């Protein structure tokens, strides 16, 4: 018996839905893997190029070599490089007592002029010209002020002094009394200078920081003396 002959069919073969989905996922996974492989290869090329072109200094850093640590002598020297000043002191004996209490063995005594509070002066402001000054003085005498004298120097030169007080509150009271009599006076604090002793010394910053009486100076102030 002759077997039947199968004629080729022009119809497309049937594809199940599950087969289609499986094929699609396979294509996506393959494409993703291809992209990852391409990125990995590109990164490897970049890393090789950077290592070849990196300067020698970076190579030292990449090796993780630790930076040299400062020695104890270096740290101690850095602490010694601090210049300080303390004072004022009444005399050298007073400075010596203070330095002994602070365990400061080496120091230098320095004399400086200090501006100290002296008193409080009540005055009538200076006139613009000599004629106005004469009129002001006549006006004050007419009000019963006899102890008047002209300030000859300083920032209120030409003013008429009406009184000097050691206590500021008394000067304020006197000024108020003058205002009640129609005299608009002012108050200034006068100063005087006196010599005072200070000491300069080298001290570690960690020790000096605990004492607020220390004043730090430029290092040259201790080295050049």
Residues 6+ apart with CB under 8 A from 51: none
**Cβ atoms within 10 A of the Cβ of 94, count?**
13
Residues 25 and 90 in one domain: no
Q: Tokens in use for 127?
A: 């006139």
Residues 115 and 33 in one domain: no
Q: Tokens in use for 110?
A: 């320095």
Residues 90 and 155 in one domain: yes
Residue 13, classified by CB atoms within 10 Å of its CB into exposed (0-12), middle (13-18) or buried (19+), is: exposed
pLDDT at 85: 87
Question: Is 13 within the bounds of a domain?
Answer: no
Question: Is 71 within the bounds of a domain?
Answer: no
pLDDT at 64: 44
Could you tell me the residue range of the domain that residue 203 belongs to? 81-225
- pLDDT tens for 4-35 read 545 455 544 554 555 566 656 656 666 666 77
Residues 57 and 139 in one domain: no
Nearest in space to 187 (alpha carbons), one of 200, 168, 211, 206:
168
pLDDT at 84: 86
Residues 120 and 212 in one domain: yes
Q: Tokens in use for 106?
A: 């080496």
Total of domains in the chain:
2
Residues 155 and 99 in one domain: yes
The separation between CA 194 and the C-alpha centre of its own chain, rounded to angstroms, equals 32
Nearest in space to 181 (alpha carbons), one of 141, 127, 131:
141
Residues 36 and 120 in one domain: no
Nearest in space to 198 (alpha carbons), one of 217, 185, 180, 211:
217
Residues 204 and 140 in one domain: yes
pTM of the shown model: 0.45
Residues 108 and 34 in one domain: no
Residue 198 phi, psi dihedral angles, 5° rounding: -125, 160
State the residue for tokens 């009271």. Answer: 173
Residues 6+ apart with CB under 8 A from 189: 117, 118, 119, 120, 121, 168
Question: Is 166 within the bounds of a domain?
Answer: yes
Q: Which residues of the chain have pLDDT under 70?
A: 1-33, 37-38, 40-41, 44-81, 204-214, 223-225
pLDDT at 140: 93
C-alpha distance across the termini of the chain, in Å: 133
**Cβ atoms within 10 A of the Cβ of 185, count?**
23
State the residue for tokens 């030169």. Answer: 157
Residues 6+ apart with CB under 8 A from 87: 95, 112, 196, 197, 198, 199
Residues 103 and 187 in one domain: yes
pLDDT at 58: 44
pLDDT at 221: 72
Cα separation, 220 vs 225, whole angstroms: 8
Residue 119, classified by CB atoms within 10 Å of its CB into exposed (0-12), middle (13-18) or buried (19+), is: middle
Residues 170 and 129 in one domain: yes
Residues 99 and 173 in one domain: yes
Question: Is 9 within the bounds of a domain?
Answer: no
Cα separation, 125 vs 187, whole angstroms: 10
pLDDT at 63: 45
Question: Is 11 within the bounds of a domain?
Answer: no
């Amino acid at each position: 018996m002759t077997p039947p002959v199968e004629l080729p069919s022009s119809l497309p073969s049937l594809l199940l839905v599950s087969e289609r989905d499986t094929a699609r996922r396979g294509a996506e996974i393959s494409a993703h893997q291809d992209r990852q492989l391409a990125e990995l290869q590109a990164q490897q090329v970049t890393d090789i190029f950077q290592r070849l072109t990196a300067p020698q200094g970076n190579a030292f850093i990449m090796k993780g070599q630790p930076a040299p640590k400062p020695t104890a002598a270096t740290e101690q020297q850095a602490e010694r490089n601090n210049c300080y000043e303390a004072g004022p002191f009444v005399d050298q004996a007073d400075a010596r007592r203070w330095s002994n209490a602070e365990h400061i063995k080496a120091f230098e005594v320095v004399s400086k002029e200090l501006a100290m509070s002296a008193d409080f002066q009540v005055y009538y402001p200076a006139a613009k010209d000599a004629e106005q000054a004469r009129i002001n003085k006549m006006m004050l005498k007419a009000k019963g002020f006899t102890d008047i004298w002209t300030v000859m120097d300083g920032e209120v030169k030409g003013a008429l002094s009406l009184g000097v007080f050691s206590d500021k509150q008394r000067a304020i009271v006197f000024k108020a009394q003058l205002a009640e009599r129609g005299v608009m006076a002012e108050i200034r604090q006068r100063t005087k200078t006196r010599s005072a002793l200070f000491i300069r010394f080298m001290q570690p910053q960690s020790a000096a920081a605990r004492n607020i009486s220390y004043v730090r100076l430029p290092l040259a102030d201790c080295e050049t003396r």
